Amino acid sequence: MAINNVKGTHDIIADEARSFDYVENVSGQIASMFAFQPVRPPVLEHSELFIRGVGEGSDVVRKEMYTFDDKGGRSLTLRPEFTAGIIRLIIQNKLLATNELPLKFYYCGPVFRYERPQLGRYRQFNQFGVESVGHNSPYADVEVIALAYTILQSLGLENVTIKINTLGDETSRNNYRAALKDYFKDKIANMCGDCQTRYEVNPLRILDCKVPEDQEIVKHAPKMSQYISLESQKRFIKVLDALREMEIPYEVDDTLVRGLDYYSETVYEFHYVSAKGNDYGAVGGGGHYDKLVHELGGPDLPGTGFSFGVERLVSVLSDDGLLNNKQELDAYVMPIGEEAQEHALNVADELRLLGYKVDICFDNVKLANMFKRAEKKNAKLALIIGEDEIKNNKVIIKDMETKEQTSVDFDALGDTCDELFNKKECCGGKRECCEGDECECKKGE
């Protein structure tokens, strides 16, 4: 019997994989423009890192972690998120002591959560995100939000809703927690089992409950905004003012608490409903954290960051027709007969070294059939090599769009393609004309 993939995982193939590459590359390039540097923490970490970092009150740690003992008896976990791992990496490599702050990193890769699979929800999915660690300025939060917003805009997602809230400092949250406990005291027995646990470990999380009957009760709960300290309010106003100044639209949502326990002060989520009306949930979210670095054994320094769900970004982009993910070839080499196939390798090699995308047909099929394949692969040129071409050291070039056809010397193939593709740049010493000290191809001029 065939073996299928694990529930909640998915295979990302060809066109879709190109979409993932595209989203990740655009995001990485923009993060670099904001002076963030790449990091690649391991997928496997000690379970303790997430228990202490993400928090025992979070659904992620209580119910969703892929945790197991390895053969040496260590409790390990497949990362359910990146932030805790990046903070560990920063502390362990003593990066805070040896660098100007904030440290600015971006990351991308798979994360694992044992959730109920549904639209936009997987058990293995990919996140792209950033962390800016070690600076307490509210503008560090704004810079990170601006970065996320720039990425979404560059991908073509214009109508993004940014929901933003402040959780305040520790005192604000302690006061609010006490107020929530008081409010839910005589109601919690009639609420769902999850809320009963949340009531004990982190009553703020009750505000996120999705059970309709519980949501009715939550509606009338005290509002977080009434418990935010003056200091935190001032900080939040600075964030909102700066966003307005930068023309980044937002909606204050004082029920937004986020799922991970380490957040404090500013938190936010990015929402986007595709034109087809599919709501995949938040495409990203993030916030500020005060205690995480210290909690994981580092100095008392804050950080701020966000993460996008790459699957969700790809889904909304695909729904809205904003992806161009089809395979495209510059040339498809079509050798006729076995002997021509060997020549085809040389032809392809010559062009690939010049930066062209080239594929070869190795099947002895009819020419008409080869042309069909060239069309299917969106090849711009078909390069035909038959007996005559081998004899005369030539290649036939056929433009797949205009159907124009010419025969060129093998040695002139690179130059002819450059002319056809209107390539202006210098070959950079890849061809004979440029061997020696000075580039002679003059294409850069």
Would you tell me which residues interact with ligand AMP (CB under 6 A)? 81, 113, 115, 120-122, 125, 127, 259, 282-285, 307, 309, 311-312
DSSP β-ladder status, 37-38 and 44-46 = unpaired
Displacement of CA 306 from its chain's centroid (Å): 11
According to the 3-state scheme, what is the secondary structure of 299-321? CCCCEEEEEEEHHHHHHHHHHCC
Instruction: Report the residue number, 19 or 370, with the smaller CB distance to ligand AMP.
Output: 19
Instruction: Report the residue number, 117 or 222, with the smaller CB distance to ligand AMP.
Output: 117
> Residue 150 has which token pair?
């720039």
Please say whether the beta carbons of 111 and 8 come within 8 A.
no
- To ligand AMP, the closest distance from the beta carbon of 56 in angstroms equals 16
Instruction: Report the residue number, 120 or 355, with the smaller CB distance to ligand AMP.
Output: 120
> Residue 7 has which token pair?
């529930």
Any idea what DSSP says for residue 334? E
- To ligand AMP, the closest distance from the beta carbon of 354 in angstroms equals 40
Any idea what DSSP says for residue 3? P
Residue 286, class by beta-carbon neighbours within 10 Å (0-12 exposed, 13-18 middle, 19+ buried)? Answer: buried
Query: What are φ and ψ of residue 132, in 5° steps?
Result: -120, 110
Instruction: Report the residue number, 113 or 343, with the smaller CB distance to ligand AMP.
Output: 113
- To ligand AMP, the closest distance from the beta carbon of 295 in angstroms equals 17
CA angle in degrees (0–180, nearest 5) for 232-234-236: 70
- To ligand AMP, the closest distance from the beta carbon of 308 in angstroms equals 6
- To ligand AMP, the closest distance from the beta carbon of 38 in angstroms equals 19
Please say whether the beta carbons of 395 and 383 come within 8 A.
yes
- To ligand AMP, the closest distance from the beta carbon of 309 in angstroms equals 2
Instruction: Report the residue number, 19 or 307, with the smaller CB distance to ligand AMP.
Output: 307
The residue whose two tokens read 């309010």 is 233
For CA atoms 314, 318, 322, 326, give the dihedral sign: positive
Instruction: Report the residue number, 282 or 358, with the smaller CB distance to ligand AMP.
Output: 282
- To ligand AMP, the closest distance from the beta carbon of 104 in angstroms equals 19
Instruction: Report the residue number, 272 or 332, with the smaller CB distance to ligand AMP.
Output: 272
**Distance between CA 209 and CA 206 in Å, rounded?**
5
The residue number whose beta carbon is nearest to ligand AMP equals 309
Query: What are φ and ψ of residue 430, in 5° steps?
Result: -85, -20
Instruction: Report the residue number, 173 or 312, with the smaller CB distance to ligand AMP.
Output: 312
- To ligand AMP, the closest distance from the beta carbon of 266 in angstroms equals 14
Amino acid letter, 310: V
